[in-house]
């Protein structure tokens, strides 16, 4: 008798007909939560190219037997729209971290911003973020960071490539606006009682909310936000890009928002940018 290949089916008993699907991940979601919002447990599914919980945008999902071919999707290029908040940093590089304010009020001209962005283009060796899932001795870096033992290990490095970076606009906001904006974003972080979340106290979200509230409610001032578009190779971290730009500007900085707008292969043909294999 001929051996049949198993078919993964939906709850309506329809077979999987496409090997990939692109979802729009919402703020606060983990990639797995995004998958389960759209696909039931009866479908075998995984993601290629994760997004941080506070990031939004395109998440590539592999379905059925395509999950066994994940390696072919891991080198895709990405486009991001990033908002960078100046004069505040966190230990994570985004708003889901413990904030610390710089003792200055930065106001940058467009020319200074554009020069700093241009200097980021190219391939560079970068350290992995302390709050990342990169394993060292079988343990993710973020666990060392939460334990307070990050200084006991050597942080691994990797190559990051930025193909194109574009200054979009800049604006100034009040601390009152920023407080409401950040608290609204943090309200989307889901609660969990899973034992594996115990070390980070469920993303440390209660402590983080309290620290943001204390910082912004007691300090009435303005903050500059820079909006940029970035085309980068696989494995490039927008959180650390924001932090590096802060150092270049002589202040602190973090990624206020990160939105992944494109996935595919990016090339230039006679200086003309071309996206191929868009998902």
Active-site residues: which are they?
Answer: 52
Q: Is 253 helix (H, G, I), strand (E, B) or coil?
A: strand
Distances (CA, A) of 232 to 15, 17, 25, 164, 260: 35, 31, 19, 7, 11
Between CA 55 and CA 82 the distance in angstroms is: 10
Q: Which residues of 131-215 form beta strands (DSSP E)?
A: 135-136, 139-140, 157-174
Between CA 25 and CA 147 the distance in angstroms is: 29
DSSP track, 110-131: HHHHHHHHHTT-EEEEEEPPSS
Between CA 12 and CA 9 the distance in angstroms is: 8
- Joined tokens for residue 107: 């106001």
CB 275 within 8 A of CB 263: no
Q: Show the CA angle centred on residue 144, arms to residues 33 and 67, nearest 5°.
A: 35
CB 25 within 8 A of CB 190: no
Q: Phi then psi for 176, rounded to 5 degrees?
A: -65, -45
Between CA 105 and CA 95 the distance in angstroms is: 19
Comparing CA positions, the residue from 279, 273, 264 lying closest to residue 75 is: 264
Between CA 268 and CA 191 the distance in angstroms is: 44
């Amino acid at each position: 008798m001929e051996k049949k290949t198993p078919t993964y089916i939906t709850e309506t008993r329809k077979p999987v007909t496409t090997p990939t699907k692109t979802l729009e991940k919402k703020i606060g979601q983990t990639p797995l939560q995004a998958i389960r919002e759209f696909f039931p447990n009866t479908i075998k599914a995984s993601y290629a190219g994760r997004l941080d919980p506070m990031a939004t945008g395109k998440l590539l999902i592999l379905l059925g037997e395509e999950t066994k071919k994940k390696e072919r999707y891991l080198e895709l290029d990405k486009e991001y729209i990033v908002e960078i908040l100046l004069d505040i940093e966190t230990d994570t590089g985004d708003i889901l971290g413990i904030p610390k304010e710089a003792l200055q009020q930065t106001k940058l001209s467009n020319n200074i911003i554009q020069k700093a962005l241009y200097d980021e283009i190219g391939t560079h060796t970068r350290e992995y973020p302390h709050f990342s899932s990169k394993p060292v001795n079988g343990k993710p870096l973020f666990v060392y960071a939460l334990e307070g033992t990050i200084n006991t290990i050597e942080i691994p490095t990797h190559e990051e490539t930025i193909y194109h970076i574009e200054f979009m606009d800049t604006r100034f906001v009040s601390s009152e606006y920023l407080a409401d904006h950040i608290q609204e974003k943090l309200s989307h972080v889901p609660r969990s009682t899973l034992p594996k979340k115990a070390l980070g106290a469920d993303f440390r979200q209660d402590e983080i909310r309290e620290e943001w509230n204390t910082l912004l409610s007691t300090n009435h001032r303005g903050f500059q936000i820079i909006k940029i578009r970035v085309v980068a190779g696989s494995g490039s971290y927008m959180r650390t890009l924001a932090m590096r730009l802060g150092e270049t500007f002589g202040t602190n900085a973090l990624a206020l928002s990160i939105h992944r707008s494109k996935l595919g292969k990016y090339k230039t043909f006679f200086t003309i940018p071309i996206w191929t294999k868009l998902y």
